[in-house]
């Protein structure tokens, strides 16, 4: 199991490294927004397992206002991941120490997008840097809302191996869909347990009622 996880992380790293090499060989600083989406963001989504041609999973949003996502990942027709292109200034980071200083504008955008889903994740990106925001209910161990809990820099992937581990653990399609499936099954078990308890209580009530009459 552990070796399988490492293989997936290695494969993810190799794919991202190829994307990085491709980007460096091009004049990416001169890319237009549409070029960034086509050459950087969409390949990143494919590398992490999301089939951009599957309209049941990957939705391209035609709205272009500040509070709308460019891409929406869906599971069973419910939005779970919102991806949006934004311009990102390097000054809000200390890449050497892996620190993000925060940006109110990005928090506001994430907050607005998260209104659409109680179990959602927002990804704000310029194609190279990816900022991840999650809804309060996505993970009980991570209860940040409208705050970036993780960021990923494509150009630094060789320097920070833990980023690949985290990316593989919580953002790939396999990890996200498995997590949501497990969570759904837990809810089903809870509902079933409650239903059984109610049925038992009803039976006890009727038995006691009959005994009191006798």
Q: How far is CA 31 from CA 34, 38, 113, 131, in A?
A: 8, 10, 26, 20
pLDDT for 54 equals 92
Mean pLDDT of the chain: 80
Domain ranges of the chain: 2-181
Task: Specify whether the CB–CB gap between 18 and 154 falls below 8 A.
Answer: no
Does the pTM exceed 0.85? no
Q: Cβ contacts of residue 46 below 8 Å, gap of 6+?
A: 52
Residues 78-100 have pLDDT tens digits of 888 899 999 999 888 888 787 88
pLDDT for 127 equals 94
Residues 142-172 have pLDDT tens digits of 444 456 888 889 988 875 567 788 887 778 8
Tokens 């161990």 label which residue? 141
């Amino acid at each position: 199991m552990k070796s399988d996880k490492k293989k997936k992380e290695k494969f993810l790293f190799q794919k991202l490294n190829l994307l990085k090499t491709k980007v460096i060989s091009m004049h990416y600083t001169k890319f237009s927004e549409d070029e960034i989406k086509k050459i950087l963001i969409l390949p990143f989504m494919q590398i992490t397992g999301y089939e951009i041609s599957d309209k049941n999973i990957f939705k391209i949003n035609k709205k272009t206002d500040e509070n709308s996502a460019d891409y929406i990942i869906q599971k069973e027709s419910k939005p779970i991941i919102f991806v949006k292109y934004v311009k990102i200034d390097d000054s809000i980071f200390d890449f050497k120490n892996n620190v993000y200083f925060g940006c109110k504008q990005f928090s506001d955008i994430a907050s607005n997008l998260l209104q659409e889903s109680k179990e959602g994740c927002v990804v704000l990106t310029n194609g190279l840097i990816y900022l991840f925001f999650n809804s309060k209910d996505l993970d009980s161990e991570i209860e940040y809302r409208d705050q970036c809990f993780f960021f990923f820099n494509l150009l630094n992937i060789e320097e920070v191996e833990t980023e690949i581990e985290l990316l593989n653990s919580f953002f790939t399609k396999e990890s996200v869909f498995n997590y949501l499936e497990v969570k759904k099954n837990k809810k089903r078990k809870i509902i079933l347990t409650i239903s059984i308890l109610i049925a038992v209580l009803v039976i006890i009530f009727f038995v006691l009622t009959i005994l009191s009459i006798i």
